[in-house]
Amino acid sequence: MTKVLLEDSRAIAGYYTLATGQVDFGDLPGDVAKKLPKRMLPVAILAWLGVASEQHGKGLGRLLLAQALLDCYDAGKTFPFIAVVLDCVDDASKAFYQHFDFLEFPGHPYRLFLSAAQLEAMMG
């Protein structure tokens, strides 16, 4: 699913794409994995999130992330998953997501996750 935010109904101001996928329980931190079955586990994937360069600094990234997480939360009521997963392109994007409590996958410093429990707490 892709959502696009338009500026003045003409130009794209920002967008995000969500998908589904799986991760191996062994890729998760030990404290998370010990509570889960030892198999591939369903996840929501934040595949893309972008803001047009002329829109930087206006808080659109934060708004798009909030909407993407709300969409994941709503979808999780029908199709449960254990986490929202994303891959960062650089240190700046990593810092952005870590500000919202995303954590690193062990051994994969640019792959981050937000557990379904954390997501639920955010939405509570």
If you search the block for the tokens 């109904």, which residue do you land on? 9
Cross-strand pairs, 113: 85, 103
- Count of CB atoms situated within 10 Å of the CB of 57: 8
CA distance 83 to 72: 9
Give the chain's end-to-end CA distance (angstroms, integer): 24
Active site residues: 97
Count, in order, helices (H) and strands (E) of the chain: 4, 6
